[in-house]
Each structure stands twice: as structure tokens, then as C-alpha cells.
Amino acid sequence: MKRIIMILLALAMVMSFVACGEGGEETTEAPETTAASTETEAPEADTTAGETEAAFNGYKVTVTDKDGNPIAGVQIQMCDSKGCRMPKGTEADGTVTFDFDTSDFHVLIAAPVDGYAVDTTEEYFFENGGKELTIVLEKK
């Protein structure tokens, strides 16, 4: 039964990727613009760390358990009115970043995580125009 659910979930993800093919193409243009503007600003700045933080104009999602411990490997998907983008997994520190230039996003967890209760239909939103979001997952 578990295998059937995983296969159905995989098929649903593939269908969402195919449906948002046009939206995915748009997102590849934004990083090029950001990278170009970063290159022109770099010589004027004094510190490398400041340049990196100032250049990042994207979104950061952190996934933790109820005790604040990071959860690695959670597949996060950014979605807007045009569809959902390819999911990315959280790193060892529980974070994943997306470099998009629109504020019309909500977040979905694209796949279940072993040991945690996950509702793949629940939408998470960035609050008050913010660009950082923390999702807390409960253990099963």
C-alpha cells in the first residue's frame, strides 16, 4: 500500500512539473539578471559577505521539528498563480533557498518525510512580505 501511495505521489509531482513548464522557464531568467547586477556591484563593495547577502533576493525556508532541530531532505516546492516549480531538498541545517523575484509564492512540502507527519496539500505562506519561513513538523 505504501509503495502505491509513493508511486501516485511521484506521478502527481511529474504531472505538476509538466503543467508548469512555462513557469519554470521564467524562473531561469531572474537569476541571470540578479547575477549580472551582482557582478556590476561587486567591485564597489568592501566585504564579500555583505555582497552575498545583499545580492540574494530570494526566499529561504527552514524545516525543523518541534524542538527546533533541523530536518534535512524535506522536498520543498514553491508555487504561484502560474504553477509549482521543481522541488528542492533541505540541507543538513534544515534550510533551502529559492532565488525568485516575485512575492506571489506559497510553499508546499512535495513529498513525505520518514518519521514525520506531513500533509502534502497544506500550503505555507510568507507573512507580511517576508522572505523567510519556518515550517515545524511533528513526529509520527
- What percent of the chain lies above the pLDDT cut of 70? 58
pLDDT recorded at residue 55: 57
Look at 4-13, 40-49, 53-62, 74-83 and tell me which has the smallest mean pLDDT: 40-49
> For residues 75 and 37, which has the higher predicted lDDT (pLDDT)?
75
With a threshold of 0.75, does the pTM exceed it? no
Ranges of each domain in the chain: 2-139
For domain 2-139, the question of CATH label 3.40.50.450 is answered with: no
For all residues of the chain together, what is the average pLDDT? 72
pLDDT(133) > 50? yes
The Cα 62–Cα 44 span in angstroms is 32
User: Read out DSSP for 25-65?
Assistant: HHHHHHHHHHHHHHHHHGGG-S-HHHHHHHH--SEEEEEEE
Which pLDDT belongs to residue 54?
Answer: 52
